[in-house]
Chain A
């Protein structure tokens, strides 16, 4: 069993990340400590057989639009570059889009070895403060803006 993590981000400017940054700075008082906001989508695909490297390339061909998106594959691990506090946001209620992606991979594209697909958004928050304060602020930002606790959950991830 392998877990293929597909990190996908826009090559073009990400308007949603820009809106989140504007809101945090202009409306929510984080202008002093927040330097930047970036966003990625994360697809975590569990497979029970096959070569994970080869499968990852095939999944990327199907799930990433190379005209506007870049991606990175991580197998059985999930790491992020230094300089950002990554916050993973996912639904704790049923995720219809993840189920549709799983069914598309299995039924329409023939990847019978796909066991499960999970989807999340990774908000990469860059702060002007040191790490402990930055992680506290990231948690607070997640709770105040990035999630609605009645449908979303979040996790502040560690970096490399």
Chain B
């Protein structure tokens, strides 16, 4: 069971992500973006870690989404292989069209200079961009109807698992309603969409995997519980098939109990697993079940 941890220029969480993947018993290696993309097909699963790929130029994830490795990853996703995108990885998956999961549709937005019949990457060239259904926009923190803060924010947050067990590869072994304390650190995690009915559709199809909540699991759609203004406090989404998960919080930063904040009593028991470990264990479990 071998996992590729993708590295783009500007990725900065690849090494701790690699540690997390290996610590749950999977083989893993860092896969640089400029390796032959076809080599990805020898892996059983993929993690796109956090960071600032291409320095967030144009917008977070936009440039990395055009790399040939992402087209190959789209093909691997269609085979049902698990993909976990964390923070910037989530942004890249959204910009690629892999989330919320209508990937591969030819773009109705493409203009006339795209040759007819051409679709996807040809010789490393993106001839037909996929439709994008949402954006992770700049954070806007709202409390009592007022904007109280904007921009980059990092803190420990509480997450409630919304999907049923086995619905999604990255939460395959997590029961519905489970609470996880995991840190966030981002400036663009505010899920917005202009696609009519998309949020309802995601709810109906149980594609909303985690929501921000208070420590008792109550969803309170304002700051400081909803940390970035995301629609319906959505923190993580999977695609319709369930094999691709994107999440803004960083599970690799809550993988060991010693990583937890000082006020958390579990920190005094450093041998215990941290809550983020469940995400990586879920991925392993998903691969075992679907092998």
CB closest residue in chain A, given B195: A150
CA separation between A136 and B192, bound complex, in Å? 28
With an 8 Å Cβ cutoff, the count of chain B residues facing the other chain is 37
Chain A residues 6 to 35 lying within 8 A of chain B, measured CB to CB, are 15-16, 19-20, 23, 26-29, 33
Minimal beta-carbon separation of B281 from chain A (angstroms): 33
Which one of B126, B151, B193 has the greatest number of beta carbons of chain A within 10 Å?
B126
Give the chain B neighbours of A20 by CB distance below 8 A. Answer: 57-58, 63
Contact of A144 among B59, B109, B124 (CB under 8 A): B109
Q: Is A110 an interface residue (CB 8 A)?
A: no
**Is there contact, CB below 8 Å, between A148 and B111?**
no
**B291 adjacent to chain A (CB < 8 Å):** no
Residues on the A chain within 8 Å of B24, using CB: none
Interface centre among B55, B58, B137 (most CB of A within 10 A): B58
Measured between alpha carbons, how far is A82 from B129 in the docked complex, in Å?
30
Instruction: Output the least CB separation between A100 and chain B (Å).
Output: 7
A28-B125, A94-B140, A150-B194 as given contacts; A23 in contact with B151, CB under 8 Å: no
Min CB distance A139 to B, Å, is 6
The A/B interface has a contact count, at CB < 8 Å, of 91
Q: Per-position contact with A for B246-260: 1 when CB-CB < 8 Å, else 0? A: 000000000000000
Chain A, residue nearest B134 (CB): A150
Residue tally, chain A, CB below 8 Å to B: 30
A29 in contact with B125 given A96-B147, A136-B113 (CB within 8 Å): yes
Cα–Cα, bound, A147→B124 (Å): 21
A81-124 CB contacts (< 8 Å) to partner B: 91, 93-94, 96-97, 100
B66 within 8 A of A: yes
Q: Tell yes or no: A74 within 8 A of B by CB.
A: no
Tell me the interface secondary structure of chain A in the complex.
Answer: helix
- With A143-B111, A150-B193, A150-B194 as contacts: A96 and B59 at CB distance below 8 Å: no
> A29-B126, A100-B150 in contact; A140/B113 too (CB < 8 A)?
yes
Instruction: Name the distance in Å between A43's Cβ and chain B's nearest Cβ.
Output: 17
Contact of A23 among B66, B147, B150 (CB under 8 A): B66
Chain B CB within 8 A of A72 CB: no
Contact partner of B110 (CB less than 8 A), chosen from A97, A100, A143, is A143
Given A20-B57, A136-B112, A150-B134, the answer on whether A144 and B129 have CB atoms closer than 8 Å is yes
Cβ-defined contact, B150 with A27, below 8 A:
no
Verify if B67 is at the interface (C-beta below 8 Å from A).
yes
